[in-house]
Amino acid sequence: MPSRIEQTNSTPFRKVDVDPVTLDIIENALRNAREEMDATLFRTAMSPGIREQGDAFPMIANVEGKMVVGQFGSFIHGFMQAYDGVLEEGDMIFTNDPYSCGAAVSHLNDWLVLKPIFKDGRHLCWAAHFGHMTDIGGKVPGSLPIDAQDIFEEGVAVPPVKILRKGELQEDILAILLRNSRMPHWNKGDFNGVMAACNMAERRCIEIAERFGDDVFYSAMADLLDRNRRAMHHLIQETVPETRQVFEDYICDDGIGMGPYKIRCSMWREGEKVIFDFEGTDPQSSGSINFLLNEEMFKMFCGTFMISVFDPQILFNDGFYDLMEVRIPEGCLLKPRRPAALSCRTHALGRIFDVISGLLGQGSPDFLCAAGFSDSPHLMYSGYDRNGEWYQLFQIGFGGIPGRPMGDGPDGHSLWPGFTNVPNEYIEAYFPLRIETYETIADSGGPGRNRGGNGIRMAYRFLEDGQISIHDDRWLTYPWGVNGGLPGGRGNKLLRRVDGSEELLPSKCDRITVKEGDLLFFNTWGGGGAGDPLEREPERVGRDVARGLVTEQGARRYGVVCDAAGRVDDEATARLRDELRGQRGEIALFDQGGDIEAIKARCLEETGLEPPRTPEFARRGAGVALR
CA 195 to CA 186: how far, in whole Å?
14
Q: Is 139 exposed, middle or buried (CB count within 10 Å of its CB: 0-12, 13-18, 19+)?
A: middle
Instruction: Quote the pTM value.
Output: 0.93
pLDDT in tens, 296-318: 889 988 888 787 766 767 778 88
Cβ(159)–Cβ(108) below 8 Å: no
Position 1 scores a pLDDT of: 53
Mean pLDDT calculated for residue range 577-588: 93
Position 190 scores a pLDDT of: 97
Is the confidence at residue 627, as pLDDT, over 50? no
pLDDT in tens, 42-94: 999 999 999 999 888 899 999 999 999 987 677 787 777 778 889 999 999 99
Helix and strand tally (H, E) in the chain?
13, 24
Cβ(291)–Cβ(105) below 8 Å: no
Q: Where are the domains of the chain?
A: 4-232, 240-293+328-361+595-627, 368-532+589-593, 533-586
Is the confidence at residue 205, as pLDDT, over 50? yes
Is the confidence at residue 349, as pLDDT, over 70? yes
Is the confidence at residue 626, as pLDDT, over 50? no
> Does 312 or 554 have the greater pLDDT score?
554
- Across 62-121, where does the E strand assignment appear? 67-70, 86-87, 92-95, 110-119
Phi-psi region of 498 (alpha: psi -120 to 50; beta: other; left: phi over 0): alpha
Position 617 scores a pLDDT of: 62
Is the confidence at residue 620, as pLDDT, over 50? no
pLDDT in tens, 230-242: 989 998 998 889 9
Position 622 scores a pLDDT of: 41
CA distances (Å), 558 to each of 188, 337, 480, 570, 573, in order?
52, 47, 17, 13, 9
Question: Of 431, 328, 306, 329, nearest to 379 (Cα)?
Answer: 431
Mean pLDDT calculated for residue range 546-563: 98
Position 611 scores a pLDDT of: 87
Is the confidence at residue 293, as pLDDT, over 80? yes
pLDDT in tens, 400-420: 999 999 899 999 887 665 678
Question: Of 232, 230, 269, 478, nearest to 362 (Cα)?
Answer: 269
Q: pLDDT grade, residue 366 (50/70/90)? A: confident
Element (H, E) at 509: strand 508-514
